[in-house]
């Protein structure tokens, strides 16, 4: 129930964040529309695919994707990749790569992988300024997550009570952080993102290997 719950709980907080950042920062319309469209396409596609996957398969996907983003962000922090971070819009090949990457991000979000962490990683790696990356990220979430949630809702796979509680907590968190967001530096945001991703990989990894051990033990019992 994690993927539908995560997507459903993010809808209202995501809308609040999107309204805040779109009012605060002027974003290139071509970049915004292209990337948000890619995310929505991925969300619709992923919703149909993920609903057919096992819990362990979803966990494995999450571990792999988060680990990849951590490696890319650390490489950028260590200057093994171009630092960038000042672009206000994407064009040419970077816009195409961004569109494709956002389709992948939207699809993976259906598996319960946090959209914001992935999109931040992609946009930072493409060299976009955080001032532009955050409005794009939040708008993409505000548009994609309702579509993905609708797919799960049609299949009756959303625990509504848990989702609403998480959504309320998310709204409180958003309202507390937004007033002081401008005080955060790019380096701090990068490091915070890496820390969140490492925590997620650790927790999901523990659940994955614990379930794996249980399954192996059960197989041994059946074999005897």
Give pLDDT, residue 176: 83
CA 95 to chain centre: 19
pLDDT, average across residues 150-161: 73
Identify the CA nearest to 17 among candidates 185, 170, 195: 170
The per-residue b/e assignment along 138-153, b for 16 or more CB within 10 angstroms, e otherwise, is bbbbbbbbbbbbbbbb
**Across 183-194, average pLDDT:** 77
- Given this model, what pLDDT does residue 34 score? 92
Per-residue model confidence (pLDDT) at position 68: 80
Domain locations in the chain as residue ranges: 2-223
Residue, of 200 and 98, whose pLDDT is higher:
98
Check if the beta carbon of residue 158 is closer than 8 Å to that of residue 31.
no
Range scoring the smallest mean pLDDT among 15-24, 52-61, 186-195, 213-222: 213-222
Q: Measuring CA to CA, which residue among 41, 60, 194, 57 is closest to residue 125?
A: 194
The CA distance from 180 to 173, in Å, is: 12
Q: How confident is the model at residue 122 (pLDDT cuts 50, 70, 90)?
A: confident
Reference 135, options 1, 27, 34, 8; nearest CA is 27
Mean pLDDT rounded to a whole number for the chain: 79
∠ CA 88-103-35, nearest 5°, is 25
Look up the pTM and report it.
0.70
């Amino acid at each position: 129930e994690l993927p539908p719950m995560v997507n459903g709980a993010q809808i209202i907080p995501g809308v609040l964040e999107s309204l805040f950042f779109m009012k605060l920062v002027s974003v290139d319309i071509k970049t915004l529309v292209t990337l948000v469209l890619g995310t929505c396409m991925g969300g619709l596609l992923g919703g149909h695919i993920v609903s057919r996957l096992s819990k362990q398969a979803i966990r494995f996907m999450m571990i792999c994707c988060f680990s990849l983003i951590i490696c890319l962000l650390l490489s950028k922090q260590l200057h093994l990749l171009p630092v960038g971070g000042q672009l206000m819009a994407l064009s040419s090949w970077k816009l195409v790569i961004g569109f494709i990457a956002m389709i992948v991000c939207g699809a993976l979000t259906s598996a319960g992988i946090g959209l914001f962490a992935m999109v931040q990683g992609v946009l930072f790696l493409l060299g976009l300024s955080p001032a532009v990356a955050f409005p794009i990220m939040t708008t993409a979430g505000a548009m994609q997550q309702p579509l993905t949630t609708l797919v799960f809702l049609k299949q009756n796979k959303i625990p509504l009570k848990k989702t609403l509680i998480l959504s309320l907590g998310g709204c409180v968190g958003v309202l507390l952080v937004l007033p002081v967001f401008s005080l955060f530096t790019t380096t701090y945001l990068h490091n915070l993102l890496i820390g969140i991703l490492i925590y997620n990989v650790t927790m999901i990894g523990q659940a994955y290997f614990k379930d794996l051990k249980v399954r192996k033990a059960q197989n041994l019992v059946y074999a005897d």
